[in-house]
Amino acid sequence: MNAIISASELASDLTGTNPPVLLDIRWQLSVAKATGEPPFDGRAEYAAGHIPSAVYVDLDQELASAPGAHGRHPLPDTARFGAAMRRAGVSADRPVVVYDGGQGWAAARAWWLLRWAGHPDVRVLDGGLPSWEGSLETDEPTPAEGDFTPEPGAVQLLDADGAAALARSGVLFDARAGERYRGEVEPIDRVGGHIPGAVSAPTNENVGADGRFLPVEELAARFNSLGAKEAGVGVYCGSGVSGAHEVLALAVAGIPAGLYVGSWSEWSADPERPVAVGPDPQ
C-alpha cells in the first residue's frame, strides 16, 4: 500500500464507491515570538476553507497527551484517540486520507498514529492542501460515527533507551534542522545537541520546493547514503511530529523505521541523558 496519495488520485477516490475518510490536521509549531503575534489557529484555518467532507482533528488535543516528562507531544491516551477517530468517521474497513497546510508534519503524525494503532489503510495527501486543485467548502460535515478501535503496536515505537541502543546497533536519524542537531541554536528545549550516535537527516531535505516528496529513487539513495541500508532504522525529532514525517519519507522509499515519539523534548529534559554537539554523530 502506498503511504501517500496525489491530489488527482484523491479527487478520483472521493467520487468512488468507498470514498476515504478525510482528516484535516492543520497545525504549526507554536514558538513564542517577541512580536506578540497570535498563535496559529488550525481550526480557524479549517473553518475558512477545507476540502469537501474533511473533518478537523486537533493535533495538540487529540493526537497527543499534555506536555510533560515524556515530551511536548507524548502519545495520546488510547481511548481518547479512538474516540476522536470515531467522531471523525474513521472505521477499520474504510480508507483514510490525512492532509495539513502543506508542511506535511501534522498529517504525518496522524498517519503514523493510525498505523501504530492498527488501521490498515492510511495515506497522506502529498503536498497537503496547496496541492488540491478542487473547490473548498466552509460547512463542517457531521459524519456517521466510525467503528475504529485502536490496537497499539502495529508499527515500531521507540522509547529513550531503545533510541539510544539503535544509535549504536543500527542508524538513528535526527529529523530536526542541522543547526539544532549541532547544538548551535535551541529555541525550545533545555539544551541543544543530539543523541550520541544519531545521524543528521533534516526532514526538509525529503521534499521539493512544492512540498511534495522527492521521487522514490532519490529518497532511497539519500537514506541509504546515510546508513539506512545497513541495519535497523529509527527516527526522532523535537517532539515526535516532524520525525513522523521522516518515517513517512522512509516508508515512501520502502524502508521501515521506528519512531521515538518523546524525541529531543523528552531526552534533553533528563540531565542524566548524554548530549553530543557538533556535526559528528558521537
- The C-alpha cell at 220 is 532511497
Q: How far is CA 131 from CA 19, 50, 55, 170, 180, in A?
A: 19, 12, 18, 36, 29
DSSP 200-216: E--GGGGB-TTSPBPPH
- Whether 237 sits among the annotated catalytic residues: the reply is yes
Is the separation of the CB atoms in 265 and 239 below 8 Å? yes
Is the separation of the CB atoms in 94 and 20 below 8 Å? yes
Sequence letter at residue 104 = G
Q: Which of 10, 85, 163, 237 is catalytic?
A: 237
Place of cell 484555518: 45
Is the separation of the CB atoms in 65 and 76 below 8 Å? yes
Quick count: other Cβ atoms within 10 Å of Cβ 69?
Answer: 9
Place of cell 456517521: 144
Q: Give the catalytic positions in this structure.
A: 237
